[in-house]
Structure 1
Amino acid sequence: AVNYGFLDSNVVSLIGKRDTGVVERVIDGDTIVVNGTHIRLLGINTPEKKELYYQEAKEFLEGLVLNKTIEIEYGAERYDKYNRTLAYLIIGENEINAELVRNGLANIYIYDTDRHTAELREAWNTCMQRGKNLCEKSENPCSLCIELKELDVKNQKVVLNNKCDFECNLTNWSIKDEGRKKFFFKNFMLEGKSEVKIIVGNKTNTESVLFWKEDYVWTEAGDSLFLRDEKGKLILWKEIER
């Protein structure tokens, strides 16, 4: 997640501004085309191609907005690094961004807190209660064993602990942030009553310390950690306070 502090007055004047348009194409679960303009849905992140629930998210969004007139509400940041317009989509009283989260087809991805943030958080809580799609809990026996012992944003470090007496096979388990950064465990067994550190950096792995080869992952302005099993089912979720 990114925190935008002081904004230019011209940008501030656009916050909450609405336009209307007809959705002519749905590219994926969080990107559409309106009047030739690519629009990236704000506050959420849906699965990428070849990831679990990618197609479901795309088809769900198509069912909600394709060939329909929508309202487009801009946020504090107007464009992303790919020059896509950042916005919330609204049809009547229905906020489309939150609907994707509520139905377990997107996780929250908060750029900056605004009037939609509370609804997005409520939608995610609803998803967790329902245990649907991206919020479906793992049935792996080790889901009851692995706990988050530490998430150190300053030092870009995650510590997982196996509280059970038996070893857990974490091969193909993954850790993900709110955005696109993902770490996979490769051929890794975590002994009972032991822990493993996952540190952002480009060093050599040891038996108890694994390195996530990125420049940075976790942001102090706010983020979330998602730990999933080999089937993509949720082990745990932890939000970094904003």
Structure 2
Amino acid sequence: MKIKRILAFIAVIIIVVNLAYYYPRLTGKGAYEPETVNMARAIDGDTFETKAGDVRLLCINTPERNKPFYTEAKIKLAELDGKEVQILRDRDDQDQYNRKLRFVFYKNRFINKELLEEGLANLYMCQGLRYEVDLKKAEEQAREQGKGIWKKSTSKCADCLKLVKLEPVLEYFILKNRCDFGCEADAKDEGNHFFAIELAGGEEKVFESRGNVWNDGGDRFFLRDDDGLLLYYSY
């Protein structure tokens, strides 16, 4: 009987903990309240400084330094330098770099969404989060309109390179050059892992990752030309 009581008590604790975590997220009540902070300065397109530490915008990823559209994304976020913004957390409080993970609002503007709408960011690690549906629609709209990072390349290799296979668990992918001349490109995932691609005419090649790059549950694959314009996209 004593063991049964202990097991029952443990079961109740587990239920209470799960309800405390999931109920607010399901009902939208009382989970996380918006916090007002002063944005000191934009570090890049998806990160900014405050007196209380750095904030990383949730669900989006903007181009890295020295990559096309990096400057445009940073300028967009820097419009809020010195202004008071509202930040709202979701499932996780911080990332591995101790940056607060937040949705960011300024007056009636949803900044994470605006960066996606203008093609200055791609959706990133947003599954199951509060604004996932709205942000997916924003990215899809930018992609359909060919804005920013979704603008298609007109280079001679625009129709040459094709992803034959992506094995996220085994950490490799296969590309084929369908043209009879050589092509170069940058390949990347939805984060910021890059691969320099060089394929001779008609060549098919295996590219192996160094470390954990691709999400085991599936990932997106981008190929861009030297100007950062889209050669190929797969999801």
Report the counterpart of residue 132 of structure 2 in structure 1.
117
Q: Which secondary structure does the structure 1 equivalent of 2:120 belong to?
A: coil
Larger-Rg structure: 2
Residue 64 (structure 2) pairs with residue 53 (structure 1): no
- Structure 1 runs (4+) deviating above 3 angstroms are 8-17
Among 217, 220, 228, the alignment partner of 1:221 is: 217
Report the counterpart of residue 14 of structure 2 in structure 1.
none
Q: Which secondary structure does the structure 2 equivalent of 1:142 belong to?
A: coil
* Contact 1:110–1:117 (CA under 8 A) maintained in structure 2: no
Report the residue type matching 2:200 in the other structure: L
Greater CA drift, 137-146 or 15-24 = 15-24
Report the counterpart of residue 174 of structure 1 in structure 2.
186
Change (3 A) 1:222 1:15: farther
1:181-212 CA distances to partner (integer Å, 9 max, x unpaired)?
11112xx33323x4222122xxxxxxxxxxxx
Report the residue type matching 1:28 in the other structure: D
Higher relative contact order (CA 8 A, sep 6+): 1
Higher strand proportion (structure 1 or 2): 1
| Distance (whole Å) between structure 2 residues aligned to residue 15 and residue 145 of structure 1 | 49
| Distance (whole Å) between structure 2 residues aligned to residue 21 and residue 230 of structure 1 | 38
Higher helix proportion (structure 1 or 2): 2
Report the counterpart of residue 151 of structure 1 in structure 2.
166
Unmatched 5+ stretches in structure 2? 1-16, 25-29
Q: Output aligned runs, 1:1-242, within 5 Å.
A: 16-63=32-79, 65-164=80-179, 166-170=180-184, 173-185=185-197, 188-192=198-202, 194-200=203-209, 214-239=210-235
TM-fit CA distance, 1:233: 1.2
| Distance (whole Å) between structure 1 residues aligned to residue 35 and residue 166 of structure 2 | 40
| Distance (whole Å) between structure 2 residues aligned to residue 17 and residue 112 of structure 1 | 21
TM-score norm. by structure 1 comes to 0.79
* Paired residues, number: 212
Change (3 A) 1:43 1:145: same
| Distance (whole Å) between structure 1 residues aligned to residue 218 and residue 117 of structure 2 | 20
Unmatched 5+ stretches in structure 1? 1-7, 201-213
Q: Which secondary structure does the structure 1 equivalent of 2:87 belong to?
A: strand
TM-score norm. by structure 2 comes to 0.81
Report the residue type matching 1:229 in the other structure: D
